[in-house]
């Protein structure tokens, strides 16, 4: 039975950049509890969208593209927010696709359940755990995200941990502190990514005026 309950806010039919070295489609899951100051997809923050994409139609598209696409990436928003994600992953995996997951790791229990099913994970570690509340507006998001990083390191699943260089953390001291903390988790692949501006997201790049300070 298809997963009727998956709230999908967007769908990219083909991309070369969201799953390493493979052609992929991307399912953008609706909803995210975080309110990051640099969010690049603010239209996906609400748990429900007025114009959701039908999951059955996405499955039909993927079934017709077998052999042309290699992978399907579940992104967001925060895909692990939705309890129906597990069934959606199972349905796509049954079509023969590699499964990618983009997540902020804020539901480590759900990530742990998904890890045996996914082939690659892109995990956002936004800051040191104690600094998450100021960056995301969520009191305990940092502890959850770093627990997810530990689970990912122990799983052996291919991955990439990404940290967006928001102005408040874009300095040598903070980057070194975060790298040292990541090193305590074991073998991890990590990269910095630039903070991109979009119409719904205008981070203040003047550090003297930035309202968020991690010092």
Structure tokens at 12: 């990219």
| Interval 186-201 mean pLDDT | 77
Cα–Cα distances in angstroms (integers) from residue 12 to residues 39, 149, 201, in the given order: 19, 27, 21
By mean pLDDT, which of 23-37, 152-166, 179-193, 201-215 is the weakest?
201-215
Structure tokens at 83: 């309890």
pLDDT tens-digit series, residues 48-76: 777 789 999 999 999 999 999 999 999 99
For residues 47 and 81, the answer to whether their CB atoms sit within 8 Å is: yes
Q: Where are the beta strands (DSSP E) in the chain?
A: 8-15, 24-29, 71-75, 98-103, 120-124, 159-164, 190-193
pLDDT at 211 over 90: no
pTM for the whole structure:
0.88
Burial 83-104 (b: 16+ CB within 10 A, else e): eebebbbebbeeeebbbbbbbb
Burial 36-55 (b: 16+ CB within 10 A, else e): bbbbebeebbeeebeeebeb
| Averaged confidence pLDDT in the chain | 88
pLDDT, residue 1, reads 43
Residue 181 binned pLDDT confidence (cut-offs 50, 70, 90): very high
By mean pLDDT, which of 127-131, 151-155, 193-197 is the weakest?
193-197
Residue 46 binned pLDDT confidence (cut-offs 50, 70, 90): confident
- For the chain, list the domains and their CATH numbers: 8-193 (3.20.20.70)
Q: What is the torsional sign of CA 110, 14, 119, 121? A: negative
The DSSP secondary-structure symbol of 43 reads: G
| Interval 78-98 mean pLDDT | 97
Cα–Cα distances in angstroms (integers) from residue 70 to residues 55, 99, 168, in the given order: 19, 9, 38
129, 130, 132, 138: CA torsion to nearest 10: 110
pLDDT over 70, % of the chain: 89
pLDDT, residue 96, reads 97
Q: 32 versus 199: which is more confidently predicted?
A: 32
């Amino acid at each position: 039975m298809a997963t009727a309950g998956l709230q999908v806010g967007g769908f990219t039919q083909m991309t070369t950049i969201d799953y390493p070295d493979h052609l992929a489609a991307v399912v953008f899951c609706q909803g995210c509890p975080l309110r990051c100051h640099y969010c690049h997809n603010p239209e996906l923050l609400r748990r429900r969208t007025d114009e959701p994409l039908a999951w059955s139609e996405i499955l039909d598209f993927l079934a017709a593209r077998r052999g042309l696409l290699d992978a399907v990436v579940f992104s967001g928003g925060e895909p692990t927010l939705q309890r129906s994600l597990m069934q959606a992953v199972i349905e796509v995996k049954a079509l023969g696709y590699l499964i990618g997951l983009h997540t902020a790791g804020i539901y480590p229990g759900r990530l742990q359940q998904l890890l045996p099913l996914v082939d690659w994970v892109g995990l956002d570690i936004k800051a040191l755990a104690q600094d998450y509340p100021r960056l995301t507006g969520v009191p305990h998001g940092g502890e959850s995200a770093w627990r997810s990083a530990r689970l990912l390191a122990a799983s052996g699943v291919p991955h990439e941990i990404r940290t967006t260089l928001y102005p408040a953390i874009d300095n040598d001291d903070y980057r070194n502190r975060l790298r040292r903390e990541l090193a305590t988790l074991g073998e991890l692949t990590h990269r910095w990514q630039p903070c991109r501006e979009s119409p719904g997201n205008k981070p203040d790049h003047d550090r003297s005026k930035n309202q968020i300070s991690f010092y």
